[in-house]
Amino acid sequence: MSNWKKSWFGLFMTCTFLLISACGGGSGAAGNTADPAQAAPAGNTANADNTTKTAEPVTIEFWYGLGGKLGENMQALIDKFNSSQQEVVVKPVVQADYSETEQKLQAAIASGTVPAAVLSSNVDWARKGYYAPLDELIAASPDFHPEDVVQTFLEQGKVDGQQFFLPMYGTTQVMYYRKDAFEKNGIKAEDLTTWEALADAASKMTVKESGKTVFYGWEPMWGAENMMDAVFGKGGKILSEDGNTVLIDSPEWVETWELFRKWIHEDKIMRIHSGGQGWEYWYKTIDDVMKGQAAGYTGSSGDQGDLDFNIVAAMEQPGWEGIGPGKPVAQAIMAGIPAAASPEQQQAAMKWYSFFMSPENTAFWSMNTGYIAVRQSALDDPEFVAYSEQNPQATVPLKQATHASKPFQDPTGGKITDALKIAADKVQINNTPAAEALKEAKETAQRELDRIRK
């Protein structure tokens, strides 16, 4: 088993163990605060002997679905926070991925026993009152400084004018490639500014034996996101300007997704890993590149903590010939506070978030994970500047974010997004023509949109 295979397999076992421990450890959910009265033996009260009881710290659970180096760095910051003060203790509860975190949270909300902090966001749930509005907590937090937070990220956490979620870090999908594969085939990263050029390079680097591809020129990441990024670069939109018409069967969409289908299934110069537990498909994709079975892949800026940049390098996503640079989505990964958490728990969660988002710690996160820092002052941090000079891949997500698209806010509560996911699977996995898959997706999405517009 390769080191990379060991990495994600070990991650899966670790996450499973932690999740089982969190569910069955008997400690209860984070909604249960420590009772100061339990700290003193029976009869040992302040009235009895004029001594003052020491208040126990507020213990909160923080739920998140991160693995590999991301999980290690999150644990490091949790440990740093817990040792930096005595008022709050953060207990990590790890899920396999972001989706599982939301699924577990849905069950917790239904039961009325919730964590105080969760690395997840859901606009529809915020409107239903499942998340707490944060404006008052922000105003009462002296260390937060919202004016210093990257405003495009902060805005993504607002719902109907109120701040419900906070940006913990920013992310965008960038391109990682093997230096040796490019050098062997005379390919220069600076020349791959269009998808057409990338496809030509992928074809040149692909190796086939007896009609079977044994080395792939490129590996997009499974899911709709990569292909949506490419659509946005061509000018495609999900909804019309008035928000009443779904546009995902327009020529920009069909032409782009059909090219990906052709590259994967007909030309066989690209490959998709799909399915598996949690992030398994993601690590298999990375594994292919690191083992020398693919020339490169499209992945998260947050992958940088898991990559060996002696072997690989990073570049921005391409655009299209005659149109301009790419416009991939730059998104903030948000955290929220469930409304069912007690006031003390909510204040404790805000204290933890303020610590995580401090200039020093958001710079640490960026340097160690590749994700984008959320405080503007962090980008001027001398350590970050020096790090970027020695590690140029760290600047690629920041540069790409300057011409990026905003993430889609689904007015149907996820029904349009779900339709796109199903269509992407049909194209990437089932080899369904893009026009057919997107036509079906458009009909489903339009029906859901019409339902809420009535």
Using one digit for the tens of pLDDT, what is the confidence trace for 232-287?
A: 999 999 999 999 999 999 999 999 999 999 999 999 999 999 999 999 999 999 99
Top-confidence residue, 48 or 209:
209
pLDDT of 211 reads 86
- DSSP secondary structure string, 100-163? HHHHHHHHHHHHT---SEES---HHHHHTT-B---HHHHHT-TTT-GGGB-HHHHHTTEETTEE
- DSSP secondary structure string, 389-403? HH-GGGGHHHHHHTT
Tens of pLDDT, residue by residue over 58-84, are 999 999 999 888 999 999 999 999 999
Name the least confident of 63-72, 102-111, 360-369, 402-411: 402-411
Q: Are residues 58 and 81 in the same domain?
A: yes
Characterise 191 by phi-psi region: left (phi > 0), alpha (psi -120 to 50), beta (else). Answer: alpha
For residue 61, the enclosing domain spans: 3-171+332-401
**CA dist., res. 273 & res. 270, Å (int):** 10
pLDDT bucket at 14, cuts 50 / 70 / 90:
very low
**Mean pLDDT score, 346-370:** 95
pLDDT of 137 reads 98
pLDDT bucket at 52, cuts 50 / 70 / 90:
very low
For residue 55, with 0-12 CB atoms within 10 Å meaning exposed, 13-18 middle and 19 or more buried, which class applies?
exposed
Amino acid at 117: A
Q: Are residues 180 and 223 in the same domain?
A: yes
**Mean pLDDT score, 3-26:** 38
Name the least confident of 32-41, 119-128, 169-178, 327-336: 32-41
**Mean pLDDT score, 109-132:** 96
pLDDT of 152 reads 83
Strand, helix or coil at 233? helix
Q: Are residues 154 and 264 in the same domain?
A: no
pLDDT at residue 40 is higher than 80: no
- Give the percent of the chain with pLDDT over 90: 77
Tell me, rounded to whole angstroms, the distance of Cα 112 from its chain centroid.
27
Q: Pick from 359, 382, 401: which residue ends a domain?
A: 401
**Mean pLDDT score, 7-36:** 36
**CA dist., res. 297 & res. 178, Å (int):** 9
- In sequence order, the 6+-apart residues with CB closer than 8 A to the CB of 158 are 164
- Give the percent of the chain with pLDDT over 70: 88
Q: Are residues 271 and 367 in the same domain?
A: no
pLDDT of 54 reads 59
Q: Do 330 and 404 touch, CB atoms closer than 8 A?
A: yes
pLDDT bucket at 151, cuts 50 / 70 / 90:
confident
Q: Are residues 17 and 121 in the same domain?
A: yes
Strand, helix or coil at 250? coil
Q: Are residues 74 and 128 in the same domain?
A: yes
* Chain position carrying tokens 């007015």: 411
**CA dist., res. 8 & res. 329, Å (int):** 26
pLDDT at residue 227 is higher than 60: yes
pLDDT bucket at 409, cuts 50 / 70 / 90:
confident
**CA dist., res. 318 & res. 192, Å (int):** 7
- In sequence order, the 6+-apart residues with CB closer than 8 A to the CB of 128 are none
Q: Are residues 326 and 355 in the same domain?
A: no
Q: Are residues 21 and 96 in the same domain?
A: yes
**Mean pLDDT score, 3-24:** 38
**CA dist., res. 5 & res. 218, Å (int):** 19
pLDDT at residue 336 is higher than 90: yes
Q: Do 416 and 336 touch, CB atoms closer than 8 A?
A: no
This prediction's pTM: 0.72
pLDDT at residue 356 is higher than 90: yes
What is the residue-averaged pLDDT of the chain? 88
pLDDT bucket at 143, cuts 50 / 70 / 90:
confident
For residue 80, with 0-12 CB atoms within 10 Å meaning exposed, 13-18 middle and 19 or more buried, which class applies?
middle
Q: Are residues 319 and 373 in the same domain?
A: no
Q: Are residues 140 and 186 in the same domain?
A: no
How many independent structural domains does the chain possess?
A: 2
Q: Are residues 206 and 151 in the same domain?
A: no
Q: Are residues 439 and 296 in the same domain?
A: yes
Q: What is the CATH number of the domain that holds 291?
A: 3.40.190.10
pLDDT bucket at 5, cuts 50 / 70 / 90:
very low
